[in-house]
Chains A and B, each alone.
Chain A
Amino acid sequence: MKQENKTVLDPATVDHIAELSRLFVPEEERAALLRDMETILAFAGRIAEVENGYREEDRQAVPFSHLRADEPAPSLSREELLRSAPAEKDGFFVVPSVMEG
């Protein structure tokens, strides 16, 4: 549950959002980052002045003017797309282990 009067950015929260962002924060950078994030949140947190009322109709960010038909069609070739691959084999992107064991 959020507590609006408390500083929401304790180190545990920063660790959690860093994990969600798939970012690794080295020990020597943590203090500076925490300071920066507190400053930024103090600024952005002013949004609390907007009275409660996140309206469902505000949810859609942009009006889509149209969507194309859901039909498969040729796109870029496999060769073109693999050209920038850091590692590839037999037409696949190669990555380290995805699953444990």
Chain B
Amino acid sequence: MTKKLIQQDIVSQAEALRKREISSEELVKTYLIELWEKNNEIGAFLSVSEESALAEARASDRRRAEGKSLGILDGIPFAAKDNLCAKNLPTTCGSRMLEGYFPPYDATAIEKLTAAGSILLGKTNLDEFGMGSSTECSAFHPTRNPYDLARTAGGSSGGSAAAVAASMAAYALGSDTGGSVRQPAAFCGLFGMKPTYGRVSRYGLVAFGSSLEQVGVLSRSLSDNAVVLSAISGYDPRDATTVRRDVPDFLSQIEKGIAGLRIGVLPEDALGELSGAVSDALARTVAECERLGARIVPASLPSLSLAAEAYYLISSAEASAELARFDGVRYGRRAEGASDIEELYKKSRSEGLGREVKRRLLLGTFALSEGYYDAYYGRARTLAARLGEEMRELLRACDLLLLPTTPSVAHPLGDKHRIDDPTVSYREDRLTVLANLTGLPALSFPVGRDENGLPIGLQLMADAFCEELLYRGAHVLANTNQKEAEE
């Protein structure tokens, strides 16, 4: 019974805890058994805090027995991407640079969840410092897709996605700089939310692209996603980019349906080449929108054609600044045998940082360097600003924008074509970087599987701070395995 429970949503688990059908300790133990059975094969987790998780579970049970439950998340275990700082576990960012590094503080998002009684089970695998779309850029090992172990779970939050999809955690935190929550969510049949920029504190998220990224939520159910988002949202004095805005009930509009809503759809040539499965899924979902009484509005985003290019220039430029701190001086890997400080920096960084990270740092440094700044970084920022204006225009005519999350389903691991040409993956991010470049919220939701049983995800985008509208739309349009099983 417990084994089935770990595949269900937070509400069901919280209910079982409340009714004393199960203890939090039993729940956590069941997740841990699942984790130990599957993790060698899937490679979702980099570190697990078994003892402290069980201790916290027992504390949760004591609170409940005394009638002092902290709420729906009390006693529910989660996983966090390994670029989110947590004091009692290493935070490696998937890099040799930070192998064995223990941060002296917790990320705000983790702090808030543990204050609500939720239990951190462990840290999950990622492409190094968030740079990658498959976890093949992790310094340690790739994460395999639970639906097909020969394929990627996506990236960079691949470990978090695989952990949730394989029922090794109830839900997980990731980070999304260019699609790194939404793409793995799509590949693994999950809901993946990138909130509006400023909605969730980035304090404790190891910075990569600071103007682009948000902590995001990966979950098996839509309501789980909203519950967790509520818990982690809010102004934080330790992150000057968080907004002073009340955290709404993200599920408040969920029963309203989409009748009468205007749903924007981009023309085929704007979306670029899509696989048959994704294209069909989009067409079916558009038809479903109309069936449910929504109005389909043809939309356009002329600047979308250069969005991926702009994203890689901006994110790499920001990364070159954000990763400058990894210099072997105060923490992380320090090279041996350096005769002076300059040699220390170069040797430590060259030894500690992987190939993709180095490529991006070089690109970013180049884009910001004298003589190239305006031509590359400047133009990229102009493109991003234009995209923002075009989205504002679009969202005057539409309530929601519907588009694919990725051009295809999860690809095989070790694809030589991708290894030889890094820009193959870069181009595929064009549909997700839109939300990061404009700061707008975006939710990837599952819409079924392809002929090989691989999950397909589509995306909804809305105006700033309108996450409730995203959940409202996805509630009627998502087609999860659960729904299929019930039919």
Closest residue of chain A to B313 (Cβ to Cβ) is A44
Closest residue of chain A to B427 (Cβ to Cβ) is A43
Least CB distance from B148 to A in Å reads 29
Task: Map CB proximity to B onto A38-50 as digits: 1 under 8 Å, 0 otherwise.
Answer: 0111111111111
B242 interface residue (CB < 8 Å to A): yes
- B329 near A93: Cβ-Cβ < 8 Å: yes
With A and B bound together, what is the CA distance between A39 and B332 in angstroms?
31
What are 13 residue pairs bridging A and B, where the CB atoms are less than 8 Å apart in the complex? Answer: A16-B369, A22-B324, A24-B350, A37-B363, A40-B423, A50-B382, A54-B378, A54-B379, A59-B381, A62-B197, A65-B243, A86-B333, A86-B334
Task: Map CB proximity to A onto B337-350 as digits: 1 under 8 Å, 0 otherwise.
Answer: 01111111111011
- B362 near A84: Cβ-Cβ < 8 Å: no
Least CB distance from B242 to A in Å reads 7
| In the A-B complex, the 4 residue pairs with the closest CB atoms | A54-B378, A86-B334, A61-B211, A84-B331
A10 interface residue (CB < 8 Å to B): no
Contact-residue bracket for chain A:
35 or more
B261 interface residue (CB < 8 Å to A): no
- B242 near A65: Cβ-Cβ < 8 Å: yes
Of B17-25, B101-109, B252-260, B278-286, the stretch lying at the interface with chain A is: B101-109
- A43 near B312: Cβ-Cβ < 8 Å: yes
Most buried by A among B211, B324, B328, B379: B379
Closest residue of chain B to A53 (Cβ to Cβ) is B382
B171 interface residue (CB < 8 Å to A): no
- A96 near B363: Cβ-Cβ < 8 Å: no
A98: chain B residues at CB < 8 Å are: 340-341
Task: Map CB proximity to A onto B211-252 as digits: 1 under 8 Å, 0 otherwise.
Answer: 100000000000000000000000001001111100000000
B318: chain A residues at CB < 8 Å are: 61
Closest residue of chain A to B378 (Cβ to Cβ) is A54
A8: chain B residues at CB < 8 Å are: 372
A43 with B426: in contact, given A17-B366, A23-B350, A81-B104 (CB under 8 Å)? yes
Least CB distance from A17 to B in Å reads 5
The A-B contact count (CB < 8 A) is: 174
- B363 near A93: Cβ-Cβ < 8 Å: no
A83 interface residue (CB < 8 Å to B): yes
Least CB distance from A39 to B in Å reads 6
Closest residue of chain B to A61 (Cβ to Cβ) is B211
Task: Map CB proximity to B onto A67-101 as digits: 1 under 8 Å, 0 otherwise.
Answer: 11000000010001101111100000101111010
- A44 near B383: Cβ-Cβ < 8 Å: no
- A49 near B306: Cβ-Cβ < 8 Å: yes
- A68 near B426: Cβ-Cβ < 8 Å: no
Which of B240, B329, B331, B427 interacts with A68 by CB under 8 Å?
A: B240
Which of A44, A46, A58, A66 interacts with B381 by CB under 8 Å?
A: A58
Which of B104, B371, B383 interacts with A47 by CB under 8 Å?
A: B383
Contact-residue bracket for chain B:
35 or more
- B211 near A62: Cβ-Cβ < 8 Å: yes
Which of A47, A85, A87, A95 interacts with B376 by CB under 8 Å?
A: A47
B136 interface residue (CB < 8 Å to A): no
B478 interface residue (CB < 8 Å to A): no
Least CB distance from A80 to B in Å reads 4
Least CB distance from B374 to A in Å reads 5
With A and B bound together, what is the CA distance between A42 and B424 in angstroms?
12
With A and B bound together, what is the CA distance between A20 and B147 in angstroms?
43
Known pairs A21-B361, A36-B359, A96-B340; list 5 more (Cβ under 8 Å). A17-B369, A62-B211, A80-B104, A84-B332, A98-B341
A24 with B363: in contact, given A55-B385, A65-B242 (CB under 8 Å)? no
With A and B bound together, what is the CA distance between A39 and B122 in angstroms?
37
- A85 near B331: Cβ-Cβ < 8 Å: yes
With A and B bound together, what is the CA distance between A55 and B427 in angstroms?
26
- A96 near B343: Cβ-Cβ < 8 Å: yes
With A and B bound together, what is the CA distance between A100 and B345 in angstroms?
16
Which of A45, A54, A95, A100 interacts with B344 by CB under 8 Å?
A: A95
B421 interface residue (CB < 8 Å to A): yes
